[in-house]
Amino acid sequence: MILSRRSLMKTGGAMLAAPLILGTGAARAQSVVTLKLHHFLPPASNVHQRLLMPWAKTLEEQSNGALKVDIFPAMQLGGKPPQLYDQAANGVVDIVWTLPGNTPGRFPSTEVFELPFIAAKEAIINAQACQEYGQTHVVKEAGGTQLLCFWAHDQGLIHTNKEIKTAADLAGLKLRNPTRLAGEALAALGATPVGMPVPQVPEALAQRSIDGCVIPWEVVPSIKVNELTKFHTEIPGSPTLYTATFFLAMNKGKYDGLPADLKAVLDANSGMAFARKAGEMWDSVGAEVRAAIEASGKGTISAISDDEKAKWLAATSPVHDKWIEDMKAKDIDGKALIEAAKALVQKYSNA
């Protein structure tokens, strides 16, 4: 076949254009940003399935596929739960979900919500109160990362193989505590606190190295506490015995290096937006877990009386006093932080 001059020019032009088209496609592929998110709970956990995975999906959808988050649960990328924050700060991973309480004393202003009888019964209140509080008091302590969200869960319960009606029933019981201050509260009530990351709880219960634990309803099935304990003791109303706080923290350099459009997508789904999603998830799942355990007939759910709660409030008040003194040694006005936390809990309780 003989090509005309015009056909040859068209063919040659197309051939010259081809590398440009391929190059554009390659550049587009290279522009996709994939972030690694590391956390400590198993992939079947509610936080993984119903909070972090939907969050990652939202980021991908709103960025038209340009921002992706690969989630690695159960410490799959190595290390131990107390090392998660530094993994993000040092760039080992891009984002972590972790508890500041895993490194006691490192983030002192976060501890105010972990004091006994500060937090509300509902997570949606605690999560929003923490996030607003965090913008003033916590971000400066977490300067090694971009703090995407600071929040807290709902009421923490006491799960044991012995029925708890009064503080006297706690005497001598070895109870896993999630934070330093929850441990001090349990000690004030007569129990023996045992600090450990939550993934270690099932084995500790099975081997009877602990007699019970304090955790919210949400995490109960993922670590089989409903199978390993018989009694689940609630604290009536608000404020509740304890809550634990969380960080969603990102490597600062990785955050700062994001293109402006992707950073805008991330920002729109972080902060208070994420806190609300987290609070809603904890409250919703907590109600589901409680109902399932109640329906199973395999565990006993009860609550201490209001009169007994008043005694627990009095017994744990020295924990507040000691914390205020500890903060004074760090040039932190602990009393003012308690007042700020209580005011925000009240604000979102009334919202």
Q: Is the confidence at residue 130, as pLDDT, over 70?
A: yes
Asked if the domains at 32-154+244-285 and 157-242+296-349 fall in one CATH topology, the answer is: yes
Interval 205-230: pLDDT, tens: 999 999 999 999 999 998 999 999 99
Q: What's residue 67's pLDDT?
A: 98
What torsion do the CA atoms of 50, 104, 192, 221 make, to the nearest 10 degrees?
10
Q: What's residue 1's pLDDT?
A: 39
Q: What's residue 20's pLDDT?
A: 36
Question: By the 8 A CB rule, do 40 and 98 touch?
Answer: yes
Mean pLDDT (whole number) for 95-104: 95
Q: How confident is the model at residue 345 (pLDDT cuts 50, 70, 90)?
A: very high
Superfamily of 157-242+296-349 according to CATH:
Bacterial extracellular solute-binding protein, family 7 (3.40.190.170)
Distance CA 268, CA 63 (A): 11
Q: What's residue 66's pLDDT?
A: 98
Q: What's residue 280's pLDDT?
A: 98
Residue with the bigger pLDDT between 25 and 246: it is 246
Radius of gyration of the chain (CA): 25
Q: What's residue 302's pLDDT?
A: 97
CB-CB neighbours of 291 under 10 Å: 12
Q: What's residue 241's pLDDT?
A: 97
Q: Is the confidence at residue 89, as pLDDT, over 80?
A: yes
Q: Return the minimum-mean-pLDDT range out of 20-34, 95-109, 179-193, 274-288.
A: 20-34
Q: Is the confidence at residue 288, as pLDDT, over 50?
A: yes
Q: What's residue 12's pLDDT?
A: 43
Which pair of tokens denotes residue 142? 């977490």
Q: 146 phi and psi, to 5 degrees?
A: -95, 115
Q: Is the confidence at residue 72, as pLDDT, over 80?
A: yes
Interval 140-169: pLDDT, tens: 999 889 999 999 999 999 999 999 999 999
Angle 70-76-82 from CA coordinates, rounded to 5°: 105
Domain chopping of the chain, boundaries: 32-154+244-285, 157-242+296-349
Q: What's residue 4's pLDDT?
A: 42
Q: What's residue 297's pLDDT?
A: 92
Burial of 223 (0-12, 13-18, 19+ CB in 10 A): buried
Q: Is the confidence at residue 134, as pLDDT, over 50?
A: yes
Q: What's residue 29's pLDDT?
A: 45
Q: What's residue 24's pLDDT?
A: 35
Q: What's residue 9's pLDDT?
A: 39
Distance CA 232, CA 158 (A): 6
Q: What's residue 3's pLDDT?
A: 41
Q: What's residue 281's pLDDT?
A: 98
Q: What's residue 226's pLDDT?
A: 96
Residue 179, CA atoms < 13 Å, CB-side half-sphere: 27
Q: What's residue 5's pLDDT?
A: 40
Q: What's residue 324's pLDDT?
A: 98
Distance CA 234, CA 303 (A): 4
Mean pLDDT (whole number) for 267-290: 98
Interval 3-59: pLDDT, tens: 444 443 344 444 334 333 333 333 344 489 999 999 999 999 999 999 999 999 999
- CATH code of the domain occupying 32-154+244-285: 3.40.190.170
Tell me what the pLDDT averaged over the chain comes to: 92
Mean pLDDT (whole number) for 59-71: 98
